[in-house]
Amino acid sequence: MAHLIQEPNIRHDLTSPNNRLGRHPECEVVIEVGAVSRFHAQVVQQSDGYVLEDLNSRNHTLLNNTDIFGKGPIPLKHGDQFTICDVNFSFRESEEGSDGPHSEATLNVEGAAVVVDDPGTEVVSTIMSKVDVNSSKGGVQLAASPEVKLAALLEITQGLGRALALDDVLPKALDSLFKIFLQADRGFLGMKNDDGVLVPRWCKARRADAEDAIRVSRTIVNHVMDTQEAILSADAATDDRFNASQSIAEFRIRSMMCAPLVDLEGNSFGVIQIDTLDQNKRFQEGDLDVLASVASQAAVAIDNARMHEAALEQQALVRDLELANSVQKGFLPDQPPAIEGYEFYDYYQPANHVGGDYYDYIILPDGRLAIIVADVVGHGVAAALMMAKLSAEARYSLASRKSPAEAVSLLNDRLSNIQVDRFVTMIMAVIDVESHEAVIVNAGHMAPIHRKQDGTVAEPGEDAAGLPLGIMDGMEYDQVTVQLQPGESFTMYTDGINEAMDSTETCYGMDRIRDHVRDSDGTPRNIGEAIIKDVQKFVGSGPQEDDMCLVSFRRLS
């Protein structure tokens, strides 16, 4: 049968006319590499041989170091090499003794193992955790002594207890089994992947030069995992429970044992199987108890190793997010601008390590000051990346257009052309520090709160608000001009403040913000700190659900 050899030494038989390679579990050859497309390429059998075709993959396919993306089906010759995202395959024509219909699941390192679908196979007997010996009499039985078994079990317990990585746990479990079961020719340890499909993780052969791949019946291992009971057959080749099981018949398995791996929550997540090819060296009833014990020990060790690895991944993620937080702070002002006749206050607190709220003070070439408060929809890493793009594009647009409204229109066009599923609400005030005029442009944001000399408040630009940025290009935005009198202030904020909720899921609301601005002494710091302190008191001990940002500024004289 024609087949593929995946480096280092993993065999994939081409069992169907169309053999797809990719990350999707429905692929005939599953490649669990993030850069591989869901359906990356396919090897197709035609009347005159096999062809390889790239399926419009993201990272292309190389055949004999030549990119075949978009070139359609390319004929394959014996020995051809092709590469999918650093995973190397070679194509082999039929070899004697490799025929027979079966399909293979995902493979892994340390030898070659395949999980085989046995068409029509049924596990007839439900008698598990019991010995099923159809031909147990006669023949020479080879087994380790009880002392050796006990010593090996102690070694397994100690070894697995010290192992913290899966690549340490898995081979140790198989190595120890081979010390206990001297008759074992091959061993296999498989675990479910994220899609719930059993895939080989480690395998071992008694002979280093063994040529046959370790073939495991998917029907049998699924039954073992479903029932959570170990199974033994002293003569698997004639066992009715494995009736029509191709992996048993074709590969001359005379006796086998299979035990489930069950986690601390009682869920099956894999199996351990060992088999022998010699009919004179069959496994016995006592052997099954030993294997079940080893499987129990291994399951606990694997569960601990997975939790340890998850903890390490979480620590690495936290470090990355802390670094991202530092980088994001670099996009925000270190301190308010020092402009004679004005004072400023700002507050920024992301809900996570990084956020999508943004504020900035941008001094324009003619001396005007642009003050921006914006909110990228959502929060977290994706919103933070969009915020970084917004920061750069806002500076470019303001430098390119003198009119604030035209600058925002240009900014909207540039963000719309990114074609990502994100939009931005933004309020911008451009201050002429000589004439003390404030030009307001609103892109779908809450209007700024203008505190006047008499203590009353207004919200200029509310009626002139345009669409949020990034939804549709070609939009024209309006601008509103306000004359700032001495002592008057503006307060701008994001919805993480007015939509903050208490334990009863009641929103803080915009009226509270207006009241604090109205009732304050008018200084930006007192306005800002009063609002933030009151929001935090309102939320209480509950989590911060959204990013919070506030900027307040005032003309002194």
Domain harbouring 389, CATH code:
3.60.40.10
Among 169-183, 426-440, 511-525, which is the least confidently predicted range?
169-183
Token pair of 476 as six digits = 């024209």
Please report the pLDDT score of residue 478 as a whole number. 95
259 with 270: CB under 8 angstroms? Answer: no
Find where tokens 């002293």 sit: 234
Q: How many CB atoms lie within 10 A of CB 388?
A: 16
Q: How confident is the model at residue 289 (pLDDT cuts 50, 70, 90)?
A: confident
- Kindly state whether residue 316 falls inside one of the protein's structural domains: no
Give the Cα-Cα-Cα angle 361, 365, 369 (nearest 5 degrees): 30
Q: Looking at the structure, tell me whether residues 264 and 339 fall in a common domain.
A: no
290 with 129: CB under 8 angstroms? Answer: no
Whose CA is closest to 350, among 321, 312, 314, 370?
321
Q: Looking at the structure, tell me whether residues 155 and 49 fall in a common domain.
A: no
Tens of pLDDT, residues 24-50:
888 899 888 878 888 999 999 998 899
SS3 486: coil
- Kindly state whether residue 245 falls inside one of the protein's structural domains: no
Tell me which range, 116-120, 195-199, 217-221, 518-522, is most confidently predicted by mean pLDDT.
518-522
Please report the pLDDT score of residue 278 as a whole number. 73
Higher pLDDT pick, 192 / 485: 485
- As a whole number of angstroms, the distance between CA 440 and CA 446 comes to 12
- Kindly state whether residue 326 falls inside one of the protein's structural domains: no
- Kindly state whether residue 317 falls inside one of the protein's structural domains: no
Higher pLDDT pick, 318 / 193: 193
Q: Looking at the structure, tell me whether residues 168 and 20 fall in a common domain.
A: no
Please report the pLDDT score of residue 462 as a whole number. 83
Q: Looking at the structure, tell me whether residues 352 and 459 fall in a common domain.
A: yes
User: Kind of pairing, strands 255-262 and 268-276?
Assistant: antiparallel
Q: Looking at the structure, tell me whether residues 191 and 263 fall in a common domain.
A: yes
Whose CA is closest to 247, among 207, 226, 217, 205?
217
Tens of pLDDT, residues 219-256:
788 889 999 988 887 554 455 554 444 444 444 556 88
- Residue 49's CATH number: 2.60.200.20
- As a whole number of angstroms, the distance between CA 319 and CA 421 comes to 27
SS3 178: helix
Higher pLDDT pick, 453 / 353: 453
Q: How confident is the model at residue 448 (pLDDT cuts 50, 70, 90)?
A: very high
Tens of pLDDT, residues 180-209:
788 888 888 888 888 888 888 888 887 655
Compute the mean pLDDT over every residue in the chain, rounded to the nearest whole number. 81
The share of the chain scoring above pLDDT 90, in percent, equals: 41
Q: Looking at the structure, tell me whether residues 434 and 524 fall in a common domain.
A: yes
Q: Looking at the structure, tell me whether residues 87 and 129 fall in a common domain.
A: no
Tens of pLDDT, residues 486-511:
999 999 999 999 999 988 889 999 99
Token pair of 114 as six digits = 């395949």
- Kindly state whether residue 247 falls inside one of the protein's structural domains: no
Please report the pLDDT score of residue 146 as a whole number. 60
- Kindly state whether residue 243 falls inside one of the protein's structural domains: no
Q: Looking at the structure, tell me whether residues 86 and 120 fall in a common domain.
A: no
Domain membership of residue 211 as a residue range: 113-237+252-309
- Residue 224's CATH number: 3.30.450.40
Please report the pLDDT score of residue 406 as a whole number. 96
Q: Looking at the structure, tell me whether residues 383 and 472 fall in a common domain.
A: yes
Cis previous bond, 337, omega within 30: no
Q: Domains in the chain: how many in total?
A: 3
**Domain end call among 43, 62, 93:** 93
Please report the pLDDT score of residue 339 as a whole number. 93
Token pair of 539 as six digits = 């939320």
The share of the chain scoring above pLDDT 70, in percent, equals: 78
Tens of pLDDT, residues 53-97:
999 998 899 999 899 999 999 999 988 999 998 899 999 886 433
Q: Looking at the structure, tell me whether residues 341 and 395 fall in a common domain.
A: yes
* pLDDT mean over 267-293: 84
Q: Looking at the structure, tell me whether residues 282 and 184 fall in a common domain.
A: yes
Token pair of 306 as six digits = 């997975």
- Kindly state whether residue 400 falls inside one of the protein's structural domains: yes
Which uninterrupted H or E stretch holds 45? strand 41-46
**Domain end call among 59, 93, 127:** 93
Q: Could you give the dihedral angle defined by the CA atoms of residues 361, 363, 364 and 365, in that order, rounded to the nearest 10 degrees? A: -160
- As a whole number of angstroms, the distance between CA 194 and CA 196 comes to 5
Q: Looking at the structure, tell me whether residues 11 and 160 fall in a common domain.
A: no
- Kindly state whether residue 134 falls inside one of the protein's structural domains: yes
Please report the pLDDT score of residue 363 as a whole number. 94
Tens of pLDDT, residues 150-177:
665 666 666 665 556 666 667 777 887 8
Among 134-148, 204-218, 239-253, which is the least confidently predicted range?
134-148
Q: Which string of DSSP letters, residue by residue, matches 309-350?
A: HHHHHHHHHHHHHHHHHHHHHTTS-SS----TTEEEEEEEE-
Please report the pLDDT score of residue 202 as a whole number. 82
Among 22-31, 261-270, 298-307, 317-326, which is the least confidently predicted range?
317-326
